[in-house]
Amino acid sequence: MVEQQRVRVGSDALQRLVEALAAQLGRAVVVDDPLVRLVCSSQHFGDADPVRIHSLLQGRAADEIIRYVLDQGVTQWQKPGFIDGRDDIGLLTRYCVPLRERGHLVGLLMVVAPDGTLAPDETATITQAVPAIAAQMYADQLAAGTERTDVQEILLALVDDSQVARASARQRILTEGLLPDAPHVVVSVVQLSPSLEPPGQLEMALRGSLERFCRSRSATGIMAVTPESAILLQCYTRPVGESELADQATSILETLCTYLDASTAPVVGVGGVQDSLADARTSYDEALVAARAARRMPHLKNMASYETLGELAVLLRLPDEALNASLLPKPVRILLNSPVGQRLEDTLRCFLENAGSIPRTAEALGIHRTSLYYRLRQVQEITGLDLDNGGDRLVLHLGLRIRALLEPGSIS
């Protein structure tokens, strides 16, 4: 009837408070953090559902459950309420109490209530227990936060403009054993758009999406997190490939989509792999450029690696006010504004990307070579440039690459 082994990450003091409340109620009680991740769980009383069992075994609920709970707006609730059960995902109805301490949401207390009701004496018992549980959650988080703040300051110093600050931070990292001076160092940056999500929720979501990448079999990392962005520094003991870093970025985005509303529109930028901690600032600068590319270029699907940007990496170092349609060469602007500009733009881009090969371009576009020759003649007539001239080709190709960085509708 009672679980003897339970997964938990809360303090012993918090566990005792939760167990005491569960015993008084005769119902299972769970405390989650604001991301609906399991902190600690009581014994159950024959009221375990598939969601609870999964959380106990895996240490967290499935993404579908987390998103369902967060979609109820529980992080904004000012008073307790019921979260309706759903048979299709194996969830029994729960009574949810937002745990707040000193104005901060520190967690969510869940009491299993299959029939969607609690007796008045039960709600009174929960109300009486909540202040002590919230206070303990707050104390536990403060204790964990002190160490995180120190690490965060060190990482921010490591990527600072000051060479002296960077050298001092590197020495502290090595002296305190935070990271090894491994031969493969890479920085990733995550950025969020302004949204209505509470700052604490944003910061916790960023931390939750990155923390599992701070320690693996091949990498050790540290992170710095604010409500708007995060920095992840990783040291690898072996060479790390672009595909592995791309998979990591994808996982980060997927996790953030579970924890946050779509309005936050997260992007991930990955810097180049450097040879030591001394070069972490270089990878950080590159990650910022990559994040800017991810924000500006929809086809990148919210993530970009500096190493794959090519010449765009240079252009993306220009300030926003300079990165506008005035950068486009005049022949390209004329082409784009012509009545058949879209078709000719696609044709020209394909032609240039295929190194001027007529057979490959015609095959890629699915048109006859005669039609391709006709379109290319139109390009030359409209732009006044010669596609057989290397310099003219460079002007057109660079112009189209700049075009990919501009906001839609900004060309005139």
Please, which residues bridge with residue 229 across strands?
191
Q: Which of 75, 287, 93, 308 is nearest to 199 (CA)?
A: 75
The reply to whether 172 and 194 lie within a common domain is yes
The reply to whether 119 and 225 lie within a common domain is no
Distance, in Å, from the CA atom of 225 to the CA atom of 189, rounded to the nearest integer, reads 10
What is the domain range of residue 338? 325-403
What are the pLDDT digits (tens) for 149-182?
Answer: 789 999 999 999 999 999 999 999 999 999 988 8
The reply to whether 300 and 333 lie within a common domain is no
pLDDT score recorded for residue 2: 32
Distance, in Å, from the CA atom of 113 to the CA atom of 117, rounded to the nearest integer, reads 6
What are the pLDDT digits (tens) for 361-378?
Answer: 999 999 999 999 999 999
Q: Indicate whether 275 belongs to any domain.
A: yes
Q: Indicate whether 336 belongs to any domain.
A: yes
Number of domains in the chain: 3
Are 299 and 352 in contact, with CB atoms under 8 Å apart? no
Q: Which of 204, 209, 206 is nearest to 191 (CA)?
A: 206
The reply to whether 20 and 119 lie within a common domain is yes
Cβ atoms within 10 Å of 149's Cβ, excluding its own: 11
H/E stretch holding 54 reads: helix 50-58
The reply to whether 214 and 175 lie within a common domain is yes
| End-of-domain residue from the set 315, 343, 377 | 315
Q: How many CA atoms lie within 13 A of 237 on its CB side?
A: 8
Q: What is the CATH number of the domain that holds 202?
A: 3.30.70.270
Predicted TM-score of the model (pTM): 0.78
pLDDT score recorded for residue 7: 41
Residues of the chain with pLDDT under 70: 1-10, 145-147, 407-412
pLDDT score recorded for residue 9: 56
Q: What is the CATH number of the domain that holds 128?
A: 3.30.450.40
Instruction: Give the residue carrying structure tokens 């209530």.
Output: 113
Q: Indicate whether 1 belongs to any domain.
A: no
Distance, in Å, from the CA atom of 38 to the CA atom of 147, rounded to the nearest integer, reads 21
The reply to whether 280 and 258 lie within a common domain is yes
Are 169 and 245 in contact, with CB atoms under 8 Å apart? no
The reply to whether 42 and 117 lie within a common domain is yes
Are 40 and 10 in contact, with CB atoms under 8 Å apart? yes
The reply to whether 29 and 128 lie within a common domain is yes
Burial of 191 (0-12, 13-18, 19+ CB in 10 A): buried
pLDDT score recorded for residue 392: 92
Please, which residues bridge with residue 222 across strands?
233
The reply to whether 295 and 373 lie within a common domain is no
pLDDT score recorded for residue 410: 55
Are 82 and 94 in contact, with CB atoms under 8 Å apart? yes
Q: Which of 380, 189, 200 is nearest to 266 (CA)?
A: 189
The reply to whether 363 and 299 lie within a common domain is no
The reply to whether 238 and 384 lie within a common domain is no
pLDDT score recorded for residue 217: 83
pLDDT score recorded for residue 147: 66
The reply to whether 167 and 262 lie within a common domain is yes
Q: Indicate whether 176 belongs to any domain.
A: yes
pLDDT score recorded for residue 52: 80
**Positive/negative CA dihedral, 241, 246, 251, 256:** positive
Q: Using alpha carbons, list the distances in angstroms from residue 221 to 35, 276, 287, 295, 392.
A: 22, 13, 16, 25, 47
Distance, in Å, from the CA atom of 320 to the CA atom of 175, rounded to the nearest integer, reads 40
